[in-house]
Amino acid sequence: MYRTHSNGELRLENLGEQVILAGWVQKIRDKGFMIWVDLRDRYGITQLIFDEERTSKTIIDQAKSLGREFVIQIKGEVIERVSKNKNIPTGEVEILVKELEILNKSAVPPFTIEDETDGGDELRMKYRYLDIRRNPVKNNLIFRHKVAMEVRKYLSDEGFIEVETPVLIKSTPEGARDFVVPSRMNEGQFYALPQSPQTFKQLLMVGGMDKYFQIVKCFRDEDLRADRQPEFTQIDCEMAFVKQEDIINAFEGLTKHLLKEVKGVTIDKFPRMSYNEAMKRYGNDKPDIRFGMEFGELNEVAKHKDFSVFNNAELVVGIAIPNGNTYSRKEIDKLIEWVKRPQVGALGMVYVRCNDDGTFKSSVDKFFDQNDLSNWAKATNAKPGDLICVLSGVTNKVRAQLSALRMEMAERLGLRNPEEFAPLWVTDFPLLEWDEETERYHAMHHPFTSPKIEDIELLDSDPGKVRANAYDLVLNGNEIGGGSIRIHDKKMQALMFKHLGFTPEKAAEQFGFLMNAFEYGAPPHGGIAFGLDRLVAILGGQETIRDFIAFPKNNKGRDVMIDAPSAIDEEQLKELNLKINL
Ligand code: ASP
């Protein structure tokens, strides 16, 4: 037996017991005649004591040779500690060591294995296996496990079946580039790694599985904006014979269950908002509704004077920053600089100070009088003491810019409390989205999403206005899940591909398998997928998904620990009939 107990287990009631423990040396305190060693494993820390009077000389000498992170096994007796440590569960006892075996030595670790470490990000990633020994990382992985288990438990109890789908497949269009894998046996041909199991889960519905889920890896070759991973995990789900309402209810249930089980938070009913309303009120399709600062549109009360900036703008819109009137001129100038940074991209910002006496002082006093400004205050719900920030320009750009400012101000004002949970369903997304680069419409969700029946006639005349049966679940300003009711009819699917610019031949080549399946009695179906990494991070009160992934990649998509990606042998290339052309 390697160990009789873990290092998180022993208490006063174990006094006098002979135990065997194993683990890593966390800390050594050598007082000459007495040595204490903190022994660590996943379960905790137990203090060992070596003492000249009670421990043999050979063992004391052995103890003196220990270093940090050595792996040892000890035999000894549980005794009561003289000075107790109330901060750890085992803090009332220690082990008087009688035998010690060094199972493995350790080089000096490149950073300290403590909750607060001196290791920088890159170093911690290179030695991730050491990083995982640290409580914050270890606890995050345990937390992730707990969430995943609760997901499986809940969905299984609700009748969902977990089915695995293949990883070597053909492209699934989820709006990103595919990772591809060359096939040796099929010369010159490639598999794509799934951006999601989308088409497979739909085929499982045609196959009569009725309720499917899978905790599954997905792969998207995108430029890695902050906090994205090229491979990530989804809780992927699909149901047959459902309407949007059924899906929303089922997965509101799952989310409530998780909030309750892992956070002890009970939320009654999740609010809902249409995409258009979210854009109008928050400039964002995943609004953080833990705080206010809602948008006030000002076109009607700001476009009647000689101020050409506003008169030429499609949208004039503002937010009221609580107590913002305390800002000095310099601080406001800095804020203006902030919105003008290329990442935000505003051309300028108009502001209005809301004085405590009910008067207003603005940066455009030349054009607007007190009455105008009081109308702005009404529209933005500004109170005396607030600062109104106003942006103007092309609608979708201005909304994105003001939304960035709203989030930034909430962050600065401490309004984004990670222990508060504000879920929100956003519904009625547009079916199509104009892409400036390719100058054509793309599916906003994916090409299998069904349009709202009542909007179908707009497909030809005003495609951008067609709404989809698509919904997102937002939590604290992050999209944690998204899905749709699917097209289950071959003709409709073909029409959709046509509007997305596929020729019938191209559509048949890429998605013939799905359209064929639709000829064999495809049931109405729909589903959703949650981003497990993000969900876990938010439930864990953090926003960085890397902290909840055992072996994450850096923002260049590299695993710096195993050094991937890397070149392959000439031999391997030959076998695959590939040539590198750099
Ligand atoms: N496959 C979709 C995605 O990855 C989710 C869904 O529509 O169910 O976003």
Q: What is the chain's pLDDT, residue by residue, as a tens digit (582 residues)? A: 899 999 999 999 999 999 999 999 999 999 989 999 999 999 999 999 999 999 999 999 999 999 999 999 999 999 999 999 999 999 999 999 999 999 999 999 999 999 999 999 999 999 999 999 999 999 999 999 999 999 999 999 999 999 999 999 997 777 889 999 999 999 999 999 999 999 999 999 999 999 999 999 999 998 877 789 999 999 999 999 999 999 999 999 999 999 999 999 999 999 999 999 999 999 999 999 999 999 999 999 999 899 999 999 999 999 999 999 999 999 999 999 999 999 999 999 999 999 999 999 999 999 999 999 999 999 999 999 999 999 999 999 999 999 999 999 999 999 999 999 999 999 999 999 998 888 889 999 999 999 999 999 999 999 999 999 999 999 999 999 999 999 999 999 999 999 999 999 999 999 999 999 999 999 999 999 999 999 999 999 987 999 999 999 999 999 999 999 999 999 999 999 999 999
CB 353 within 8 Å of CB 332: no
| Index of the ligand 1 atom closest to the CA of residue 527 | 8
**Token pair of 138, please?**
């270890």
Pairing of strands 44-51, 93-104: parallel
Q: Which amino acid is at 108?
A: V
Distance (angstroms) between ligand 1 centre and the Cα of 301 equals 41
Kindly state if the Cβ of 196 falls inside 6 Å of ligand 1: yes
Kindly state if the Cβ of 482 falls inside 6 Å of ligand 1: yes
Distance (angstroms) between ligand 1 centre and the Cα of 174 equals 8
Hey, which of 236, 427, 450, 474 would you mutate to test ligand 1's pocket, going by the most ligand atoms within 8 Å of its Cβ? 236
Q: Which of 74, 55, 66, 58 is nearest to 5 (CA)?
A: 74
- The H or E element containing residue 80 is strand 71-80
Kindly state if the Cβ of 198 falls inside 6 Å of ligand 1: yes
Kindly state if the Cβ of 484 falls inside 6 Å of ligand 1: yes
- Strand residue runs (E) in 250-386: 272-274, 296-297, 315-321, 350-354, 360-362
Q: Which of 42, 30, 31 is nearest to 21 (CA)?
A: 42
Q: Alpha helix locations (H) across 104-134?
A: 121-126, 128-131
Kindly state if the Cβ of 174 falls inside 6 Å of ligand 1: yes
φ, ψ of residue 76 in degrees (nearest 5) = -175, -175
Distances (CA, A) of 259 to 102, 202, 482: 44, 28, 18
CB 160 within 8 Å of CB 213: yes
By three-state DSSP, how is residue 86 classified?
coil
Residue nearest to atom 7 of ligand 1 (CA): 483
Residue nearest to atom 4 of ligand 1 (CA): 196
| Index of the ligand 1 atom closest to the CA of residue 526 | 8
Distance (angstroms) between ligand 1 centre and the Cα of 236 equals 7
Distance (angstroms) between ligand 1 centre and the Cα of 444 equals 11
Distance (angstroms) between ligand 1 centre and the Cα of 199 equals 10
Hey, which of 196, 442, 472 would you mutate to test ligand 1's pocket, going by the most ligand atoms within 8 Å of its Cβ? 196
Give the pTM: 0.95
Residue nearest to atom 8 of ligand 1 (CA): 528
Kindly state if the Cβ of 531 falls inside 6 Å of ligand 1: no
Distance (angstroms) between ligand 1 centre and the Cα of 417 equals 28
Q: Residues in the chain, how many?
A: 582
**Token pair of 92, please?**
């009332």
Hey, which of 171, 446, 473 would you mutate to test ligand 1's pocket, going by the most ligand atoms within 8 Å of its Cβ? 446
Residues 53 and 97: their CA atoms lie apart, in Å, by: 12
| Index of the ligand 1 atom closest to the CA of residue 172 | 1
